[in-house]
Copies of this chain bind each other. A is one copy, B any other.
Amino acid sequence: MNAFRHGSLDVATFVELHQLYGRQSHLIDEGDARAWATTFTADGEFISPSYPAPVAGTAALTDFADAFFADAAAAGEARRHVITNIAIDRVGDDELAVRLYLQIVATRKGEQSRLVRLTTTADRVVREGGQWRVACRTVRRDDN
């Protein structure tokens, strides 16, 4: 039972992580694919049952984010990554384990917004050159 390991989390790291997650969705949802990709490490991995294979590395992550935004535009809708329930555990000086809830909300012109799915995300986050970035994201879908 490690419900209370957060005693070891320093304030600066907490703030940096919440800023990272606060910002990350805006980047992919607004089509700033390259900036989104650089919230991951250079060899960062994205693993999700929504996609046929893991995506790894800045170039592939950029293409992935570009495709997400283009697909939404082609469907005539805005798609948003809504992040809540951020729980941060320290693994080491420069490594954190983060769990969060991620809802996809989609909206077509003239229609009500709709909740498409809720996923549970587990991130391994590491500090490189003083900057926290996602080294590996593993997405689980509740509908899967």
Contacts and interface: CB of A to CB of B under 8 A. Distances in A.
A110 B25 contact: no
Contacts of A80: 101, 118, 120, 142
A38 B108 CA distance: 34
Interface in A107-144: 107-118, 120, 131, 142-144
A73 interface: no
Given A23-B87, A80-B101, A82-B101, A142 B107 contact: yes
Given A9-B19, A82-B84, A113 B117 contact: yes
A74 interface: no
Interface in A73-105: 77-78, 80-88, 99-101, 103, 105
A71 interface: no
Nearest to A89: B23
Given A15-B9, A15-B14, A114-B115, A144 B109 contact: yes
Interface of A: 1, 3-4, 6, 9, 11-12, 14-16, 18-23, 25-27, 32, 34-36, 38-39, 77-78, 80-88, 99-101, 103, 105, 107-118, 120, 131, 142-144
